Amino acid sequence: MSIATTTQFWTSRMNGGDPSSLTDYGQDNESFTLSAGVGGDGSAVGDSWKIVSAGGGQQWSVTPTTNAYTIIACFKFNSAPADGTVLMKLDNGTHKVEVHSNGDLEKVKLVGATTVTSIDLDLAQADAFEPVPVILRLTLDSSGNAKLYLRDIIEDDLGATSYLSVTGSAGSSKTIQFGNTSGIVTWNNVYVTNFGAFSPDEMSTSPFVTDSLMRMAFSIVELLRNSKRFYLKNIVNDSSIVYGYDVSSGMVSRLAPPTIHILLSELSSPQFDTVGGTRITQNYKIILFVTTRGTDYKNAYRTGMEIGGDAFDEIYTNTGLKGDTDSLNNYSATFDTKMDDDEVVCIHRFEYEYMRRLNMLHR
């Protein structure tokens, strides 16, 4: 996991207008260049950019200088492009990966050194009931590893993997591209970043979500999983250090203790630092639930203390130490105790309150 930092953001954000003139949504929004096709094949229709194949279609691109990219697009087919039509492309000069139409209204293909085909995605535009447009995220890292996240999720509701993976084929020149030269495709939104290959858990299309959930909470998950401290390294499995989407007793019991659940519980910005809110101070609270189990409650209690102590030391020494950008203001710990004869699970609770200063211009 490599969560986007505060200086990494979407460098091109097309929200339905002319891709060659991205003047909205703040600073640092690089426009696309028409790299193929004839004028008149694309036009703004409502809040989207529709590309038709008459005259050759359109391919829009930006030219990065880095080696790892992410492109995420929300689109739908009005008329299915022919099999093999390139919809999205990433090329870092060494490796290349493309998303192709499958020639129907259901599937796409991820094409690199090998080719894999997606599940049914329902890409068609219905006449009576408009479907939810499909969201695809394509990433390529500097080593040539490529992933296509279907519907911009890592796992589906059943826990099954929801992305395709290939190694890129031989690249030629650096480019990030979207469009179609066959069929009719309505492109609702296209976001691009040349700062890295980010999964849905590492960079959201919403800067708010990236700032809060990922940089403030997921970063703690990553920090503890990578820790070399005694109990975190040897006693708690990395897969048992998770974000606490659901901390009910039923869900917590699905993971075998010892476990650590991290939860972002609160955000606030009581006062903006600059006129117009371009810089803000944001206060937030992170909660850790350290769960252990034992028939001898004393051992469960002590083990939980050891794990929680390692987590505290790791968090305290590696976060909130930059007074001008990120500050750990205070913490509290609540230690569980046995109340019933049959109680065997011990849950210690640690709360950390932070203050962070944010640049709000990359929206």
52-62 per-position pLDDT tens digit: 987 789 999 99
Using CA atoms, how far apart are residues 101 and 301, in angstroms rounded to an integer?
56
Using CA atoms, how far apart are residues 330 and 285, in angstroms rounded to an integer?
10
Strands 259-268 and 86-91: unpaired
Which residues make Cβ contacts (< 8 Å) with residue 302, sequence separation at least 6?
none
182-213 per-position pLDDT tens digit: 999 999 999 999 999 999 999 999 988 988 89
pLDDT for 59: 94
pLDDT bin (cut points 50, 70, 90) of residue 132 is low
109-125 per-position pLDDT tens digit: 999 999 999 998 888 75
pLDDT bin (cut points 50, 70, 90) of residue 26 is low
- Tell me which amino acid residue 5 is: T
Residue entry with tokens 């990065």: 64
Residue 274 clears pLDDT 80, i.e. is over it = no
Using CA atoms, how far apart are residues 101 and 250, in angstroms rounded to an integer?
43
Question: Average pLDDT for residues 28-54, to the nearest whole number?
Answer: 84
Length of the chain equals 363
% of the chain surpassing 70 pLDDT: 90
CB 217 within 8 A of CB 264: yes
Question: Average pLDDT for residues 41-58, to the nearest whole number?
Answer: 88
% of the chain surpassing 90 pLDDT: 61
**DSSP SS3 for 4:** coil
Using CA atoms, how far apart are residues 205 and 264, in angstroms rounded to an integer?
19
Residue 126 clears pLDDT 60, i.e. is over it = no
pLDDT for 51: 93
pLDDT bin (cut points 50, 70, 90) of residue 361 is low
Angle at 267 between CA 265 and CA 362, to 5 degrees: 125
Report, in angstroms and rounded to the nearest whole number, the Rg of the chain calculated over CA atoms: 24
pLDDT for 252: 67
pLDDT for 277: 58
Which tops the pLDDT comparison, 276 or 290?
A: 290
pLDDT for 245: 87
Residue 29 clears pLDDT 60, i.e. is over it = yes
302-344 per-position pLDDT tens digit: 999 999 999 999 999 998 777 666 788 899 999 998 877 767 8
Model's pTM, two decimal places? 0.88
CB 286 within 8 A of CB 352: yes
81-110 per-position pLDDT tens digit: 999 999 999 999 999 999 999 999 999 999
Query: Which residue, among 106, 119, 169, has the nearest Cα to 149 in the 3D structure?
Result: 119
Angle at 209 between CA 205 and CA 197, to 5 degrees: 50
pLDDT bin (cut points 50, 70, 90) of residue 7 is confident
Residue entry with tokens 């099999």: 83
Strands 241-243 and 86-91: unpaired
Tell me what the pLDDT averaged over the chain comes to.
88
Residue 276 clears pLDDT 60, i.e. is over it = no
Which tops the pLDDT comparison, 38 or 145?
A: 145
Beta bridge partners of 281: 357
Q: What tokens were used for 10?
A: 């979407």
Q: Which fold has domain 12-193?
A: Jelly Rolls (2.60.120)
pLDDT for 212: 86
Which residues make Cβ contacts (< 8 Å) with residue 313, sequence separation at least 6?
229
Q: What tokens were used for 344?
A: 């065997």
Residue entry with tokens 């279609």: 57
Q: Where are the domains of the chain?
A: 12-193, 207-359
Q: SS3 for 103-131, per residue?
A: CCCCCEEEECCCEEECCCCCCECCCCCCC
Which residues make Cβ contacts (< 8 Å) with residue 109, sequence separation at least 6?
99, 100, 101, 102, 115, 116, 117, 118
Q: CATH 3.40.50.1100: does it fit domain 207-359?
A: no
